[in-house]
């Protein structure tokens, strides 16, 4: 079964992946988002010699979506990774899982795999169990884990 929209996202992620700045790891990642309004956005990883200052491909794609001023809901995201030995299934890191969740709906599809034939869909709630959903509601909506406001004099 072909899916032209998924094919287009895969092609966009593969294209932007070639632009990754990865002089230290030689591990290229490309991400492409389809927002709920149908528009597409891409990002690639950008490394920095000061390790934590780099940015993930998913972060770049989400930033482009937000900067566009359009929809802020992710319908689908495709993530592709290629290391020195070739393409690999590249799941989003923990931080990116939380970033994706910030803009996800219950129907958001997270796709990753080594190539187009190997892409598999995942649900963000399965990739990030116990996630933070708001500052007033604890992980995964658990009222027992609600963050209480600071007490007076604290």
Q: Which residues of 96-126 are buried (b: 16+ CB within 10 A; e: fewer)?
A: bbebbbebbeeebbbbbbeeeeebeebebee
Task: Check if 102 is active-site.
Answer: no
Q: Which of 5, 47, 58, 137 is catalytic?
A: 58
Distance CA 142, CA 38 (A): 32
* 110 closest CA partner among 34, 55, 37, 46: 34
Just list the catalytic residues.
Answer: 58
């Amino acid at each position: 079964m072909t899916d032209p929209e998924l094919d287009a996202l895969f092609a966009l992620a593969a294209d932007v992946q070639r632009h990754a700045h990865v002089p230290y790891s030689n591990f290229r990642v490309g991400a492409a988002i389809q927002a709920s309004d149908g528009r597409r956005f891409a990002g690639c990883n950008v490394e920095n010699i000061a390790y934590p200052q780099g940015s993930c491909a998913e972060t770049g794609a989400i930033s482009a979506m937000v900067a566009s001023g359009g929809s802020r809901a992710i319908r689908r995201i495709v993530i592709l990774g290629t290391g020195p030995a070739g393409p690999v299934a590249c799941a989003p890191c923990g931080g990116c899982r939380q970033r994706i969740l910030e803009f996800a709906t219950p129907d958001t599809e997270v796709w990753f795999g080594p190539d187009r034939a190997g892409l598999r869909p995942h649900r963000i709630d399965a990739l990030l169990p116990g996630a933070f959903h708001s500052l007033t509601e604890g992980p995964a909506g658990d009222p027992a884990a609600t963050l209480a406001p600071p007490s007076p004099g604290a």
